[in-house]
């Protein structure tokens, strides 16, 4: 039996996919542990899972303070913030905790999320076999083809970090030379890209994620179609305009659909019987009832939607979301709209198109099939076992 | 070609790209920034590059222009900088050098 250590950033979307893989490894008799921020990560792990905590703050700032500072940033400014103000300081702050976790747990294999750079650093420094956990596929393709300076700037940040820390042979910490686990498939990422042999596409890992959230199931009218409108966990202040646009977009469609909007109740006025506002939803349980999803393009929501063969309207805000939106439209599984500027009429026509043109659902179902056959957590566990 | 003419051309392209409905609320001028004011997305930068190429020909290579910028310059990029770049590509000295 072997010992596997998952190193994750304090981000739910980056932790969820590792939970199912870790549980799969545990069920095979391996020793598994996670290293990360106890307050954020602890509640996401399965009961009985072992967590080795790291320092909660970095540079005197909490995650919530940092998040507030990042609000409103878009495009290249958001990109600069992500790396210079979040990922690099996060790596530095996590380093002592991760080094201690490795000392304590003595893993045979370390799995570092692509945004938990401290994991990659410690594995590299100690010569441990390690895998990259790519919970979003944006870094796997080159999203910077029109602005190559973004990609090279990020790479230079990583090299500088390693020089500062006295690492004699800096590497690109985003990509392991041993194994890169991508929680998507090439059908979604796009066949125009070719990948080295140690890149493995296992499909989304979404099995263990059911939390008890109530939902008024009786409200769903089986004679109408159902559309989910969600911006994930994005801050309300950013979503206010978009939600108002969405309400106006679906307002005249009461004869044919019902819409569920995921938002704090005080943020959206709902004058319509066919629009429901819920702050939290049981998304995986709701998906089988849905005919379309309007999303900001978070990788997990997009993959969960496609795993149910449901088409999308994607309104990317920033970070990896424009890349994911591009993948969805290239695959034919949905339409893209402009988050900050879309009008009610444009959003309405996009929703109607993905509902009425069967090609979007067919493409979503093609991706669904590719997800099913990719092997998921079991395939990921197989590949990780080969590293021992 | 005067800077005013170029600004008018670029403004028309941007209005088309971001949509006239939304553009109504923005007075696109030399100091308007692509990121903070127009919230131009990556695919829209690509559209703009295509439009500029169609309108001005091979002398205006917006992709190469962007590639020379640092990350911080990209973040602060204004419409005026693009206008000046285009005007510069059509100055007599430049034209002679390019054509000759």
**Cβ proximity of A311 and A350 under 8 Å:** no
Nearest to A139 by CA among A93, A105, A173: A173
The sign of the CA dihedral A152, A153, A154, A158 is: positive
Residues 6 or more apart whose CB falls under 8 angstroms from that of A322 comprise A143, A297, A316, B41, B42, B43
* Contact call for A75 and B35, based on CB within 8 A: yes
Distance from CA of B96 to the nearest CA of A (A): 29
The 10s digit of each residue's pLDDT in A125-184 is 999 999 999 988 877 776 556 677 788 888 899 999 999 999 999 999 999 999 999 999
Say which of A143, A147, A336 has its CB closest to residue B74. Answer: A147
Domains of chain A: 3-135+140-173 (3.40.50.2000), 217-372 (3.40.50.2000)
The 10s digit of each residue's pLDDT in B16-60 is 998 877 777 788 999 999 988 888 887 788 899 999 999 999 999
Say which of A74, A153, A346 has its CB closest to residue B35. Answer: A74
Q: Is the pLDDT of residue A293 over 80?
A: yes
Q: What residues 75-104 of chain A have any CB closer than 8 A to a CB of chain B?
A: 75-77, 79-80
Query: Which residue, chain included where needed, has tokens 């905590």?
Result: A53
The 10s digit of each residue's pLDDT in B57-88 is 999 999 889 888 888 998 999 999 999 999 99
**Would you call B92 exposed, middle or buried from its count of C-beta atoms within 10 A (0-12, 13-18, 19+)?**
exposed
pTM for the full predicted model: 0.87
Collect all residues of chain A within an 8 Å Cβ-Cβ radius of residue B40: 75
Collect all residues of chain A within an 8 Å Cβ-Cβ radius of residue B78: none
Q: In this prediction, does ipTM exceed 0.90?
A: no
Say which of B21, B43, B74 has its CB closest to residue A76. Answer: B74
Alpha helices in A184-226 (DSSP H): 186-189
Collect all residues of chain B within an 8 Å Cβ-Cβ radius of residue A153: 70-71
> Percent of chain A scored above 70 by pLDDT?
96
Distance from CA of B47 to the nearest CA of A (A): 11
Domains of chain B: 3-95 (1.10.1200)
For chain A, the average pLDDT equals 91
pLDDT of residue A210: 56
Nearest to A92 by CA among A173, A182, A4, A18: A173
* Contact call for A79 and B71, based on CB within 8 A: yes
Structure tokens at A282: 């049981």
pLDDT of residue B100: 38
pLDDT of residue A234: 66
The 10s digit of each residue's pLDDT in A19-51 is 999 999 999 999 999 999 998 899 999 999 999
pLDDT of residue A68: 80
């Amino acid at each position: 039996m072997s010992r596997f250590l998952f190193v994750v950033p304090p981000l739910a979307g980056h932790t969820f996919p590792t939970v199912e893989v870790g549980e799969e490894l545990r069920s095979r008799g391996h020793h598994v542990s996670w290293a990360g921020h106890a307050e954020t990560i602890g509640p996401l792990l399965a009961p009985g899972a072992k967590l080795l905590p790291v320092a909660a703050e970095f540079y005197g700032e909490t995650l919530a303070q940092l998040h507030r500072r990042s609000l409103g940033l878009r495009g290249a400014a958001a990109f600069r913030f992500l790396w210079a103000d979040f990922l690099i300081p996060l790596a530095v702050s996590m380093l002592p905790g991760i080094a201690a976790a490795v000392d304590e747990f003595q893993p045979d294999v370390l799995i570092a999320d692509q945004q938990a750079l401290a994991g990659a650093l410690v594995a590299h420094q100690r010569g441990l076999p390690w895998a990259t956990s790519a919970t979003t596929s944006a870094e796997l393709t080159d999203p910077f083809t029109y602005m190559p300076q973004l990609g090279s700037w990020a790479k230079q940040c990583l090299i500088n970090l390693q020089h500062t820390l006295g690492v004699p042979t800096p590497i690109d910490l985003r990509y392991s030379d041993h194994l890169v686990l991508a929680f998507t498939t090439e059908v979604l990422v796009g066949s125009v890209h070719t990948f080295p042999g140690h890149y493995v596409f296992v499909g989304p890992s979404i099995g263990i994620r059911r939390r008890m959230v109530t939902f008024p199931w009786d409200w769903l009218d089986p004679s109408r179609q159902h559309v989910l409108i969600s911006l994930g966990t994005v801050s309300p202040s950013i979503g206010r305009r978009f939600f108002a646009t969405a309400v106006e977009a679906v307002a005249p469609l009461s004869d044919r659909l019902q819409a569920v909007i995921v938002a704090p109740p005080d943020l959206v006025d709902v004058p319509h019987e066919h629009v429901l506002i819920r702050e939290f939803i049981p998304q995986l349980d709701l998906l089988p009832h849905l005919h379309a999803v309007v999303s900001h393009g978070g990788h997990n929501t997009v993959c969960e939607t496609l795993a149910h063969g449901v088409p999308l309207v994607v309104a990317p805000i920033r970070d990896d979301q424009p890349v994911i939106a591009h993948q969805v439209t290239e695959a034919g599984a949905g339409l893209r709209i402009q988050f900050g500027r879309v009008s009610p009429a444009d959003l309405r026509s996009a929703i109607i198109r993905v509902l009425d043109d069967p090609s979007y659902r067919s493409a979503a179902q093609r991706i669904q099939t590719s997800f099913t056959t990719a092997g998921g957590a079991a395939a990921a566990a197989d590949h990780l076992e080969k590293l021992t | 070609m005067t800077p005013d003419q170029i600004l008018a051309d670029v403004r028309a392209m941007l209005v088309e790209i971001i949509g006239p409905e939304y553009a109504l609320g923005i007075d696109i001028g030399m100091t308007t920034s692509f990121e903070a004011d127009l919230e131009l997305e990556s695919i829209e930068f690509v559209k703009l590059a295509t439009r500029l190429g169609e309108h001005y020909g091979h002398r205006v290579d917006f992709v190469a222009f962007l590639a020379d910028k640092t990350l911080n310059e990209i973040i602060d990029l204004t419409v005026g900088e693009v206008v000046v770049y285009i005007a510069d590509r059509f100055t007599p000295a430049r034209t002679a050098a390019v054509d000759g």
